[in-house]
């Protein structure tokens, strides 16, 4: 029991510490239950998106176009919802994202997605398509279709998606192969694993989660708007940062749960900075510095742990020699 509590404390120390700091600085905001509830609600949309991004991150792909992919799906979903209601939104978001994901997976056989230039090109193409499809139309969602972004539906969808992500990360064969590729691509490919096929499956899974996050984002915000050029790339970074925080905690907790902690921490930080009326440019600086501190701290602690293990091993060998 003591070990479980110790492990839980190690996992929750980052989000609790961040929330505690802002509770001291702005108690009128952060000591309000509605603020905590609002942070959790905002986290649902980003969290589903982050779970999707995690599947391509483990294989070593950083795809900036996933946000533009989500927006294009949302635009088509809003247009279809005017004729088909909620079903139109669901079909538009998921089918569009899946179609784009499958196309990217197919192209990945010839053009590797690990090239930043390729992901930027995809972002520009998808952003332009979103603007063309939207045209002069107002992308406001009908009230009936907004239900999926409200309580209790948003909680139910997020929980089910989280369970599905957990199963895929722990029980799906290709996820294990993706981790192996991300760790050592050359050795894994020499053992007979198809790089293109494994990466393609991860890209397709990511697109499925991106489609669901598009449903939640559009319903929660009661609409969407196309973002041409590279504007949509800014939506990818919170997910990547949330994943990186989850990655830091992966030795103590599953990556799916780690992403929850990471996204909640980042949304708490963002809410706190907004409550302090900090300019957006400085907000990005603080966020980047926060992630840098976490990475340095994690690296230092890991190094200390390795040193302790080596020291213990050395002492054990010395004791064995003394005994003999």
For 83-117, what is each residue's pLDDT tens digit?
888 898 899 999 999 999 999 988 888 877 667 88
Tokens 């905690």 -> residue: 249
The pLDDT, as a whole number, for residue 146 is 83
Report angle CA 146, 151, 154 to the nearest 5 degrees: 75
Q: Look at residue 115 in the predicted model and tell me its pLDDT.
A: 72
Between the alpha carbon of residue 76 and those of residues 88, 129, 139, 286, 305, the distances in Å are 9, 11, 9, 36, 51
Contact present, 38 and 231 (Cβ < 8 Å)? no
Q: Using the 8-state DSSP alphabet, how is residue 323 labeled?
A: H
Position 1 scores a pLDDT of 58
In the prediction, which pLDDT does 215 show? 92
Mean pLDDT lowest among 27-31, 135-139, 160-164: 135-139
Q: Rounded to an integer, what distance in angstroms lies between the CA atom of residue 268 and that of residue 227?
A: 26
d(CA 304, CA 148): 47
Q: How confident is residue 64, by pLDDT bands cut at 50, 70 and 90?
A: confident
Single out the residue of 206, 215, 41 nearest to residue 145, CA to CA: 215
| Count of CB atoms situated within 10 Å of the CB of 228 | 17
Token couple for 223: 């609409």
Sequence ranges of the domains in the chain: 40-238
Residue 112 tokens read as: 């590797």
> Tens digit of pLDDT for each residue in 139-180?
788 777 788 888 888 999 999 999 999 999 888 888 888 888
| pLDDT at residue 300 greater than cutoff 80 | no
> 């499956």: which residue's tokens?
201
pLDDT, tens digit, 9 for 90 and up, residues 237-254: 888 888 888 888 777 788
Return d(Cα 269, Cα 287) in angstroms, integer: 8
**pLDDT at 50 (0 to 100):** 92
Residue 323 has pLDDT above 80, yes or no: no
Q: What's the whole-number average pLDDT of the chain?
A: 82
pLDDT of amino acid 5? 64
What's the pLDDT score for residue 155? Answer: 92
pLDDT digits (tens, 9 = 90+) for 184-217: 777 777 777 778 888 888 999 999 999 999 999 9
List the one residue out of 115, 122, 84 whose CA is nearest residue 207: 122
Residue-wise pLDDT for 271-286, tens only, equals 888 888 777 677 777 7
Rounded to the nearest 10°, the torsion over CA 243, 248, 249, 250 is 80
pLDDT at 123 over 80: yes
Is residue 265's pLDDT more than 80? yes
């Amino acid at each position: 029991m003591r070990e479980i509590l110790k492990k839980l404390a190690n996992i929750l120390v980052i989000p609790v510490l961040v929330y505690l700091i802002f509770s001291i600085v702005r108690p009128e905001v952060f000591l309000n239950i509605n603020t905590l509830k609002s942070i959790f609600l905002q986290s649902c949309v980003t969290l589903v998106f982050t779970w999707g991004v995690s599947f391509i991150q483990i294989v070593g792909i950083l795809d900036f176009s996933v946000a533009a992919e989500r927006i294009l799906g949302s635009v088509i979903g809003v247009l279809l919802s005017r004729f088909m209601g909620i079903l139109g939104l669901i079909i538009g978001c998921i089918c569009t994202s899946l179609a784009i994901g499958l196309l990217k997976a197919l192209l990945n056989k010839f053009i590797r997605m690990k090239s930043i230039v390729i992901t930027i090109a995809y972002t520009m193409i998808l952003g332009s398509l979103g603007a063309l499809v939207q045209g002069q139309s107002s992308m406001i969602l009908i009230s009936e279709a907004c239900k999926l972004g409200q309580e209790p539906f948003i909680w139910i969808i997020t929980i089910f998606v989280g369970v599905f992500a957990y199963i895929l990360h722990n029980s799906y064969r290709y996820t294990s192969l993706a981790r192996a590729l991300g760790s050592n691509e050359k050795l894994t490919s020499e053992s007979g694993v198809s790089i293109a096929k494994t990466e393609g499956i991860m890209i397709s899974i990511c697109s499925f989660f991106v489609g669901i996050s598009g449903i939640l984002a559009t319903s929660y915000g009661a609409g969407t708007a196309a973002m041409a050029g590279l504007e949509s790339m800014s939506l990818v970074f919170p997910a990547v940062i949330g994943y990186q925080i989850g990655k830091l905690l992966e030795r103590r907790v599953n990556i799916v749960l780690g992403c929850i902690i990471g996204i909640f921490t980042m949304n708490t930080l963002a809410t706190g900075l907004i409550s302090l009326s900090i300019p957006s440019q400085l907000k990005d600086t603080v966020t980047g510095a926060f992630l840098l501190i976490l990475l340095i701290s994690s690296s230092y602690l890991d190094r200390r742990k390795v040193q302790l293990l080596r020291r213990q091993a050395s002492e054990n060998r010395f004791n064995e020699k003394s005994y003999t």
